[in-house]
Chain A
C-alpha cells in the first residue's frame, strides 16, 4: 500500500543554463563555481544545484522540502519527475529507477509545477479530459473524474471557459486538479501556495490532507515554514544543494538550541557584552555580528530585563530587541546564519 520515494547521494551539476525543466527558481541564488574571476572566464558554465542529497520519503507520507530560492528544491523535483538528468546518484519512486524507467515512473506520479503551465488552447474541462486521455483513462471515466475534480476545486462555473482568462488562483487550482486526474500514487507540488489568497490556501491544504488520507505520498516544496509546519509529517531543510536538517516539525523545532531566539541590536557590540549575555539564565548560545547579537534561550520575554541590564552595564545602548518563538525559520537561521525568506 502506497509508494515511497528514495534518493541517494543525488548530485546535479548544470553545465548550461537549465532551459525549463528545473523551474524558474531552480538555481536562483546558486553561484557558479570557480575561484578567481580569471579562471571563471576560462571555465565552462557550471552550477552545482544538488551536492549529494539523500532522502527517504515513506509511502503515505506528506514530506516537505523547505529552503530558500536556489536551494535545490525544484531541481530535486525535476529529477524525480524525469525532467532533469541527475549527474550522479540514484532516485527511485517505488521500485522504479526514475531515470532508467521513465515511463513506468511517470505512470505513478502527478506533478504541479511552480508556475502554472496550463494548456491555453483548451477549456478547463478539456484540460482535465485530455490529461486523462494521455494516461489512457476510458472516456466515461475521465468525464466523471473531471466533473468531480471541477466541483472539488470550485471551478464548475468556469469549467467550459478557456483558461487564458483565469486568475492566478484559479489556474493553480486547476493545475492541482489536473495532476490528480490519473490518481497518482505520488504527488509532487512545487511551491503550491505561492500567490494564493488565504482562503484558497486553506482549501488547498484541506485537499492535500484529504488526498493523503487515501494512502498517497505527497512531496511538496515550500519556503513558507508555516505551510511546512501545518501540512508535513516530516521535513527536510535544504540549502545550497545539501540537506541541513531532517525530521518531524516537532523534532526539528526541539533541535533549536534553547528554542527561543532573541535578536538584540546595540549601539556598539563588544566581547564583554557577549560574555555578560552568555551568563544570563536560560541562555544556551550567543552569536554576535557587529552590533547585532543573537541569543538562543529557553525563554523569551522573561529575559528582556536582564538583557537591558547587561547592555547598560557594558556601556552601550539598546537599540532594538526582537523575540522569535521556536520555529523552523529559527532553525534555518541557526544552521545557515541567513533568513529563510532572504
Chain B
C-alpha cells in the first residue's frame, strides 16, 4: 500500500466532513435525540415506562446511530460518485491499488460512526440524566464492541453503496434500513422477543441486533442481553463477510 496516497485520501474525506460538519451532526443527532427524549424522558417521566427503560434504550439508540451513520457516510457518496458524478475516478487513478481506496472508505466511515456513537452517548446521558446507569467498568470490552459495530456499519455501507442503483435509494431505505431498525432490538432487548420464537430466530440475521445487544452488554450489563462473546463472534463473522463482499463489489464497479 502507498501510505502517503492512503492518508491523503483520508485527509480529503476528513476535509469534506469538516466542511459539512453541521449538516452531518444534524443528520446524525436529530433522530436519535428525538427518540431518546420521547421514549426516555416523556414515556418514563409520565410513568408509562419504568425508569429502568432508560438504560435499556440508550445503548440501542447508540448502536442504531452508529450503524446508520456508517452506512450513510460510505454508501451515499459511493452511489453518486460511481453512477452520476464520477468524482471517484481521480482517486481510482491515484498510484495505489484500487482496493485500498475501498479500505480507506471503510476507515473513514468507521471514524464517523465512532464519532456519532460517542456524541449520541454523551447527548443521551445529558437528556436522560444519571438514571440511565451506563457503566464503563470494562473499557476494553466497550472499545472492542464499538470498533466491531463501527466496522459493521462502514463495511455494510460499502456493500450497499456498490450494490444499490441510484434509482433504488428510496427502496434501500424502505426495504433494508427501516426493517433493520425496527427488528434491530434498538427499543427492546432481544430477550423481549421470547413470545415470538420464530421472529426471535429470524432477527438474528439482522446485524443491528448484535450492535444493540453488544453495546448493552458493554455499557449496561445489568439489563438482559445476548452474551458479549457471542455478539463479538457474530460481529466478526458478519464484518469479515461484508468486507470481502464489499471489496469484491467495489472492484467490479471500478474496473470493467
Contacts and interface: CB of A to CB of B under 8 A. Distances in A.
Cβ-closest 7 pairs across A and B = A133-B8, A117-B86, A134-B94, A136-B4, A18-B256, A21-B256, A121-B16
Interface residues of B, number: 32
A253 interface: no
A131 B94 CA distance: 8
Given A83-B92, A113-B89, A135-B95, A20 B83 contact: yes
A14 interface: yes
Given A19-B82, A117-B85, A130 B12 contact: yes
Contacts of B16: 121-122
B201 interface: no
A103 B96 contact: yes
Interface string A108-134: 010101010111111000110011011
B90 A117 contact: yes
A102 interface: yes
A82 B254 CA distance: 10
B8 to A, nearest CB: 4
A222 interface: no
Given A81-B93, A82-B93, A103-B2, A19 B253 contact: yes
Contacts of A82: 93, 255
B9 interface: yes
A25 B95 CA distance: 26
Which residue among B11, B85, B96 has the maximum number of chain A CB atoms within 10 Å of its CB? Answer: B85
B250 to A, nearest CB: 11
> Dominant SS at the B interface?
helix
What bracket does the count of chain A residues touching chain B fall in? 35 or more
Contacts of A22: 256
Given A14-B256, A19-B256, A136-B2, A131 B85 contact: no
A102 B94 contact: no
Contacts of A134: 5, 8-9, 90-91, 94-96
21 contacts: A14-B256, A19-B82, A20-B83, A20-B86, A20-B256, A22-B256, A78-B256, A83-B92, A83-B254, A84-B255, A106-B96, A107-B95, A111-B89, A113-B89, A117-B88, A117-B89, A117-B90, A122-B15, A133-B12, A134-B90, A134-B91
Nearest to A110: B93
A136 B90 contact: no
Contact of A21 (B4, B19, B255): B255
Interface string A132-159: 0111100000000000000000000000
A85 interface: yes
A19 B251 CA distance: 11
A127 B8 CA distance: 12
Contacts of B88: 117
A178 interface: yes
Contacts of A119: 12, 87, 90
Given A19-B82, A106-B93, A134-B94, A85 B256 contact: yes
A131 B256 CA distance: 23
Given A19-B82, A136-B2, A136-B5, A84 B87 contact: no
